[in-house]
Amino acid sequence: KAGVTQTPRYLIKTRGQQVTLSCSPISGHRSVSWYQQTPGQGLQFLFEYFSETQRNKGNFPGRFSGRQFSNSRSEMNVSTLELGDSALYLCASSGTGGGTEAFFGQGTRLTVV
């Protein structure tokens, strides 16, 4: 069974640009969550999608948005990039069931210059 796949693995963008990150969950998983990891703030929850609907949202500005497609693949978009958006963005997928674990992808390393 293939794991969670995130593309691209590395990305360099300029301030003011926008970026789209992609996440393909484990087959059969309907929940996809996104996290931002930085040295200063640690791991912070961005949002979660379940069956194409945003089910949960963290405390991030509206520049951060996402969506989920009918095949459960998810995209995350960041508009008007700032230097502080430089981070490792992790995606996690979960199956159904209360105690189900989150399986993480290897992340996308975004650098904003």
Partner 1 sequence: AQTVTQSQPEMSVQEAETVTLSCTYDTSESDYYLFWYKQPPSRQMILVIRQEAYKQQNATENRFSVNFQKAAKSFSLKISDSQLGDAAMYFCAYRRINGNSGYALNFGKGTSLLVTP
Closer CB to partner 1, residue 41 or residue 80?
41
**Which residues are 82's β-sheet partners?**
none
Q: Which of residues 68-107 bind partner 1 (CB under 8 A)?
A: 88, 90, 92, 94, 97-104, 106-107
Q: Is there binding between residue 1 and partner 1 (CB under 8 A)?
A: no
Q: Residue 48's CB: how many other CB atoms inside 10 A?
A: 22
* Residues 33-72, mask of contacts with partner 1 (x by CB under 8 A): x-x------xxxx--x-x----xx-x--------------
Question: What span, in angstroms and rounded, lies between the C-alpha atoms of 27 and 2?
Answer: 7
**Spatial contact of 20 and 75, defined as CB atoms under 8 Å apart:** yes
CA 80 to chain CA centroid, Å, is 17
Site residues for partner 1 per CB under 8 A = 31, 33, 35, 42-45, 48, 50, 55-56, 58, 88, 90, 92, 94, 97-104, 106-107
